[in-house]
Structure 1
Amino acid sequence: MDLTNRIVRYGELKRCRTAFIDAHTPGSDQKENFTIIGGGVSESAEQHVHITIPHGFNIGAAGQPPHCRNSLHSHRTAEVFFVLSGRWRFFWGRWGTAGEVILEPGDIFNIPTGIFRGFENVGTDYGMIMAVLGGDDAGGGVIWAPQVIEDAGAHGLVLGENGKLYDSKKGESLPDGVAPMPLLTDAELAEFPEPEARAVLPRQVARYLDLSAMADRAPVSVIGPDGCLPDRPGFEVSLLTRGSALTAPVTEDRPSVLMPVFGHWRVTWQGGEATLAPGDTMSVPEGLAHSVVPSITGEAGLYRVTGTQDPAGPTWHG
């Protein structure tokens, strides 16, 4: 079986720099967004989707130079990040001041639904984070903090109530019959929790070094009903290391996705094989027996995402 069209190489990712409403806002105008599997939540018609096959979840990525940030927003379904490269500060709350955490390569954050969140590259080099979004339609888009929409308007970008962006710098304007996206009211804003870091971090953040120690003999469940971060966001995430590689072929009844974070990994199936490097993404069809093992010596870590029958609903229970 030829799976070439189900492998997206890091070096072949097609970026979009106009994906969201803050694309012109100073401090956020150097972001690069990538939609790897599924339509994602991009607001731009310029966003390229690499794999359109439904998986029950979406895979995307964000690349940012140092000091570049992603503005405060919320989602109705799960948003899970792991750091591929760089050092990242994640912050949350109406103004981004309720709490924060610094994550390093391999660390993973299951961000609760229904809270405003943002992130910035606080490292010294270009960094990349990989994202898993719940549901095939990723929850119907992004909910922006009011100040983000206001700042964007001051720099030429308007978001229509249809979820599409219009750029006055390109001579675009809202079509007849399409109103601007309304700002959230005070009453609506009051519905967004402001959890402190002490409430979020133990339940929603897992460090790679801790996970890799637990995955020394068998894959460790990171996100799932029995995971280190117990949750049912519509998919499960596990970590494989050298000691817990899938040397014996496994088969899933739903598509799964392989995402190396450290080392090179050889995926083998009847009639083919492929070697994946950090930043590569591979979609494995349901029903296909396959093995997944490191191909060279050294540190080896790989996240595996599998869809479930659970609805891609809220993940904050504070």
Structure 2
Amino acid sequence: MGTRTRAGVRSQGENVMQPKIPTIRVTREEMRKRVAFFSEIQGHDGGLPDSRHPTALRKLYNIIGFQPPARNEGGLPIVSPVGDEAAEHAHIKISEGFNLGFCETSPGKGPMMHNHDTNETFMPMTGKWRCSWEVDGTVEAFDLGPFDVISFPPGVQRRFENITFDEPGKTHWLLFVIGGDAPQAEFSPQAHSLLVEEGFMTPDGKY
């Protein structure tokens, strides 16, 4: 029986919500491509200008997104936040506006100061991490523990470092989420100069 209103009797169909977001159907096999079991993930320790620098040794795990970067007009690769190696092996290959991965490294290690053209958000999973950024010629930082979160806007020179020095023989994990379908990474002028001086990259960006 319909619902009576002041305007008269309304049919039951008029009570059903009309979705504004298109609905799709995904099979179990299709959804399996969007599942990354922790036991299956593979880390990569190369593919970035600072990958071999003693202070920056780390493994990066490309879980969601981070497709292989394009090349610029000069033929040089655009640097992916996870590097060339990990960008080739996304566990969930999608381009839906964000990317997600893990960093695993030892105390005292972390990427050199760098920048992204999109948001980058960090959340330590284990251990203690120092998340730093440059401002007005100085370096500011917050020390974060498991499940703390810091979110850097585009354009801020930033880095992170495992500071769990009371566990020197143990690696720890940090989760990072980076916005956009194809985020770009660029090292700070000081980090770039150091990498060039120490032979880890050429002045024009080859590594």
Q: Normalization by structure 1: what TM-score?
A: 0.46
Q: Superposition pairs for residues 103-118 of structure 1, below 5 Å?
A: 103-118=144-159
Q: Does 1:46 align with 2:89?
A: no
Question: Which residue of 16, 28, 31 maps to 2:58?
Answer: 31
Distance verdict in 2 for CA 1:85–1:130, change over 3 Å: same
Whole-Å separation in 1 of the counterparts to 2:48 and 2:141: 22
Give 1:142's match in structure 2, choosing from 171, 185, 190: 185
User: Structure 1 pair 75/111, CA: closer, same or farther in 2 (3 Å)?
Assistant: same
Check whether the contact 2:130–2:163 (CA below 8 A) recurs between aligned residues. Answer: yes
Specify which structure has the bigger relative contact order, considering alpha-carbon pairs within 8 angstroms and separated by 6 or more residues. Answer: 2
* Cα drift, residue 69 of structure 1: 1.9
Partner of 1:6: 34
* Mapping for residues 118-157 of structure 1, pairs under 5 Å: 118-123=159-164, 124=167, 125-138=170-183, 141-157=184-200
Structure 1 residue 18 and structure 2 residue 59: aligned? no
Q: Which amino acid letter does the alignment assign opposite residue 45 of structure 2?
A: R
Cα distance in structure 2, aligned partners of 1:88 and 1:76: 23
Q: Relative to structure 1, is the Cα distance of residues 101 and 42 closer, same or farther in structure 2, using a 3 angstrom cutoff?
A: closer
Q: Secondary structure in 1 aligned to 2:112? A: strand
Q: Is residue 196–residue 203 contact of structure 2 (8 Å, CA) maintained in 1?
A: no
In the superposition, the TM-score normalised over structure 2's length comes to 0.69
**Unmatched runs of 5 consecutive residues or more in structure 2:** 1-26, 68-79
Two-structure CA RMSD over aligned residues (Å): 2.3
Distance in 1 (CA, whole Å) between partners of 2:138 and 2:39 is 35
Q: Report how many aligned residue pairs link the two structures.
A: 161
Rg comparison, structure with higher value: 2
Task: Give the Å deviation of 1:92.
Answer: 0.9
- TM-superposed deviation, 1:17: 0.9
* CA distance 1:27–1:95, shift in 2 (3 Å): farther
Alpha-carbon spacing, 1:95–1:33, altered in 2? closer, same or farther (3 Å) = farther
Q: Structure 1 residue 159: deviation in Å?
A: 5.9
Contact 1:20 1:43 in 2 (8 A): yes
Q: Which amino acid aligns with 2:99?
A: N
Q: Distance in 2 between matches of 1:85 and 1:130?
A: 10
2:142 partner SS = strand
**Percent identity of paired positions between Structure 1 and Structure 2:** 29
Matching residue's letter, 1:39: F
Which has the larger share of strand?
1
